[in-house]
Structure 1
């Protein structure tokens, strides 16, 4: 395999698990490449891209606070990045530096793996939240043909996303019980329930029997929402797989191999999460 240098950049970046993830794949497929974390402060972003080609980068991942700021340094962005207004993956294509967003494919890939058949025709989905993860989920669910309703504490933010994508609705939390009664999929994209954050307090009693419940939070791996849903007999999907699946396309672009999300890889990251976050 051709060697290549890839990165994940952000500010700060020490917390990223992407090097462990991509390092696993590099070793598994015996690719003589590298993937390293780089802390780039906002004021250093222009200098980083000024030397991008000379540094030999084949591409990389972008995290906060650069997901929007990097766009001006790219030759073009793909449809997903344009729709979501953020870039999380960069690669070379036909001599052009391209930016994409793989949050949507990561979200869908995780559901496909852990809850096969979740996207049945005519399905209805309810998304909690109105941040970047909610946008990615809404964009992906619309692609799969589901009817989407967003609920957020501030209804206007949910309504803004609904208008942006079209063909979906935005609501305040007061509408949630009625929406749950028709839902085939419930997705939490808020940080509520994450370790160190307040719990997500919603009543699942109205939720349609047979609905799948997905929480994008993965620390802890089983959030209070997932625990309550599992107790009611719902299929549940944790958030770790979204991190794993969103990395596949980047690795393919940089190193020419489409990697597999394996049980061994999932276990590797779970062990790391538990070792570094007591109580997770």
Structure 2
């Protein structure tokens, strides 16, 4: 009997000790027949600055890591330390996965592919001609790129920082010249929402720490769908409000699972079972909610 192939993988970022990525990777890795060890490298706990990401890459390479996921605030900072960059990651200017091959660092982005597969799986027949997206930060960059690769003809990007939305428009418009990518304005938002086939929400609003609604769902056409990238909670205020009005919705868990599955594929060369991973992910979220309720005496 041959020994199982082993993979040592890590996650670099700030405030990541409660991340669900390690257990997702480890369980699916075991299902695929690997010895899979996934460790968090929290900059805050390590006492390291985000600018130390290059040194951390070198330390992990020397320690035998096969790959590193990268999250906030290092997705852009890591790029100068890479030997090779996947074209999509170069277009987005962000990396969330670094493969270590023969001592070289190869940068990829599975956030956009994770959202793309989420849309295809969760909204397979939904129209995608006119889309409004809220948020143009790191996650918004990935979701917008995914939407444009799916052929969205007219994408309106809205952000509380108009200059950030315009910067993303300026980045993507030349890459997709046959499609219209514009920054939304307060003056046009009402009509943009009323005529949208769907809305993508890519800001922190709706997370436990940032409750609330990013926009008024009553402004949507009855046939519009709503996608959220927030997954803690999995059923955000936005999705609940949209569902009550009869809109088709897509939860943020599908993107989270999708990016993890795509990372595992690139790391191991094997095809993960995305539906099995989603079931595990929802199980982990259930455990997370139970622990949270216990810590607060059962209060939500």
Structure 1 residues without counterparts, runs of 5 or longer: none
- Which one of the candidate residues 142, 155, 165 is aligned to 1:148? 155
Matched residue, 1:108:
116
**Does the CA-based 8 Å contact 1:90-1:250 persist in structure 2?**
no
- Which one of the candidate residues 200, 209, 222 is aligned to 2:235? 222
**Counterpart-to-counterpart distance in 1, 2:186 and 2:162:** 8
Q: How many residues align?
A: 278
**C-alpha offsets along residues 169-190 of structure 1, whole Å, 9 cap, x if unaligned?**
1023342210112111101111
- Which one of the candidate residues 185, 188, 205 is aligned to 2:201? 188
Matched residue, 2:223:
210
SS for the counterpart of 1:104 is helix
Matched residue, 1:164:
171
**Counterpart-to-counterpart distance in 2, 1:48 and 1:36:** 13
Structure 2 residues without counterparts, runs of 5 or longer: 174-179, 294-298
Instruction: Give the deviation of 1:33 after TM superposition.
Output: 2.6
TM-score, normalization: structure 1? 0.91
TM-score, normalization: structure 2? 0.85
Matched residue, 1:243:
256
Matched residue, 2:290:
275
SS for the counterpart of 1:8 is strand
Matched residue, 1:13:
16
- 1:25 and 2:33 aligned: no
**Does the CA-based 8 Å contact 1:151-1:175 persist in structure 2?**
no
Instruction: Give the deviation of 1:44 after TM superposition.
Output: 4.2
**Does the CA-based 8 Å contact 2:25-2:36 persist in structure 1?**
no
**Counterpart-to-counterpart distance in 2, 1:254 and 1:16:** 19
**For the aligned residues, what is the CA RMSD?**
2.1
**Does the CA-based 8 Å contact 2:30-2:36 persist in structure 1?**
no
**Counterpart-to-counterpart distance in 2, 1:189 and 1:9:** 21
**Does the CA-based 8 Å contact 2:66-2:101 persist in structure 1?**
no
Check 1:153–1:72 CA distance in 2 against 1; reply closer, same or farther (3 A cut): closer
Check 1:238–1:173 CA distance in 2 against 1; reply closer, same or farther (3 A cut): farther
**C-alpha offsets along residues 52-104 of structure 1, whole Å, 9 cap, x if unaligned?**
43321111201122212222221011122212211100114576420111111
